[in-house]
Amino acid sequence: MKYQDIIHYALNKRGAYETYPFGPVPICVKVCNRIFLQGYWTDKKKMMTVKCDMMTGDFYRNLFPEAVVRGYHCPPVQQPYWNTVYLEKDVPDHEIYNMIDHAYEVVVNKLSLKKRIELERQ
């Protein structure tokens, strides 16, 4: 899957925007100031890290053990809640979209009721 397709899909979520809090890499896609996707596209690596709940994270790591690992850059306590997906491995496009959808939902569901209402009005 192409970088542009992933970012375009994530940015089409209600309230999503891109930012670069850590420098030019990674590109972060946020909603209500919370990251749900980080994209790493360089000559050396092509991967994304997405937010997840613990059960869904385990599901994808078991389904695609060569391509999906715990958030590689996260501290151990956060790793179960982030999955890093190596995009040059065999993960079907529809599963990548499902992971992005799930990441967005996890972040939005943790927002306060006030923030969720504001987001719905956008």
40-85 per-position pLDDT tens digit: 988 888 999 999 999 999 999 999 999 999 998 887 888 889 999 9
Read off the DSSP letter of residue 115. H
How much is the pTM? 0.93
Q: Is the pLDDT of residue 7 over 90?
A: yes
Its domain, for residue 43, covers 3-117
Angle between helices 3-11 and 93-109 (to 10 degrees): 30
**What are the backbone dihedrals phi and psi of residue 63, each rounded to the nearest 5 degrees, phi first?**
-70, -40
Domain count, the chain: 1
The CATH number for 11's domain is 3.90.1150.30
Within a domain: 75:
yes
Within a domain: 122:
no
Within a domain: 99:
yes
37, 49 contact by CB (below 8 A): yes
Within a domain: 102:
yes
Within a domain: 92:
yes
